């Protein structure tokens, strides 16, 4: 059984946007032990389970601001730079995502 992650270990990954505390899709993927594309597929295939307040859409301005604050890009390798605006999950969105993903780690971490 995986160790439970303590809040202090993920606190630095939590971002506040528009008064909401969120985790970006690539951070969630790392936390749940899946690829980011699996996170996005789960959302796309289950849109009815993610009401408006579960996932926030970031503006281009917010994305630019985030890029200056966090290092999300790897320095080497083809296809390492994200072309897409990341999804921003609220706490409710994280719970829903954990129920959809077929990842034991997601269930345990939630």
Instruction: List, for residues 25-82, the tens digit of each pLDDT value.
Output: 999 998 888 899 999 999 999 999 999 899 998 888 888 887 766 655 444 444 445 5
The upper half-sphere exposure of residue 47, i.e. CA atoms within 13 Å in the direction of its Cβ, equals 1
Higher pLDDT, 87 or 79: 87
* 7-73+81-109, CATH topology level: Mlu1-box Binding Protein; DNA-binding Domain (3.10.260)
Global pTM reads 0.74
What is the rounded average pLDDT of the residues 82-86? 76
Strand partners, 88: 24, 56
CA–CA separation, 49 vs 47, rounded Å? 5
Residue 1, pLDDT score: 44
Higher pLDDT, 11 or 88: 88
């Amino acid at each position: 059984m995986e160790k439970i992650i303590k809040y202090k270990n993920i606190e630095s990954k939590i971002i506040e946007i528009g008064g909401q505390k969120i985790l970006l899709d690539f951070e969630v993927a790392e936390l749940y032990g899946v690829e980011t594309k699996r996170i996005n597929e789960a959302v796309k295939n289950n849109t009815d389970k993610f009401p408006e307040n579960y996932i926030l859409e970031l503006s281009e301005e917010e994305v630019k601001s985030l890029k200056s604050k966090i290092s999300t890009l790897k320095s080497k390798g083809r296809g390492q730079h994200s072309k897409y605006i990341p999804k921003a999950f609220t706490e409710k969105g994280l719970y829903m995502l954990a129920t959809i993903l077929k990842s034991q780690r997601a269930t345990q971490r939630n």
